[in-house]
Amino acid sequence: MSTVILLSLALMCLALCLSFVRLFKGPSLPDRVVALELFSSILVGTIGLIAIATDVASLLDVAIVMALMAFMAAIGFARFLERGGARDD
């Protein structure tokens, strides 16, 4: 079981690195927002994995808050873009 968890954590770490590449390169601001959203999804998964690995059920609350924050951030960024906020990309 622990090898499966380690392997999955390694895969998700790699996924985080890949999405960081997009966050760094991303030609436009919407691309970066998509990368940030993927970040938060991967973090929800990682928190779930750590909850399994450490047997701490209350970590799930952190996952809930993470998902909520990601949704709010996406909506906020989209409003900002549509209102024509200052951009540097």
Partner 1 sequence: MIELIKGGLILVGAIFMFLAALGLVRMPDLLTRMHATTKAATLGATLIMLAVALHFGEVAVVARAFGVILFIMMTAPVAAHVIGRAGYFVGSRLWSGTVKDELRPNYDPLTHELKSGLETQENAKRHPRDTDPD
**Binding footprint of partner 1, residue count (CB under 8 A):** 51
Helical packing angle, 2-25 and 29-54, nearest 10°: 160
Shortest spacing between CB 34 and partner 1, in angstroms: 5
H-type helices in 1-89, by residue range? 2-25, 29-54, 59-82
- Would you give the binding string for partner 1 spanning residues 3-42, x where CB under 8 A is met? -xx-xxx-xx-xxxxxx-xx-----xxxx-xxx-xx--xx
Nearer to partner 1, 1 or 88 (CB): 1
**Residue 47: both structure tokens together:** 């928190």
Is position 75 an interface residue for partner 1 (rule: CB under 8 A)?
Answer: yes
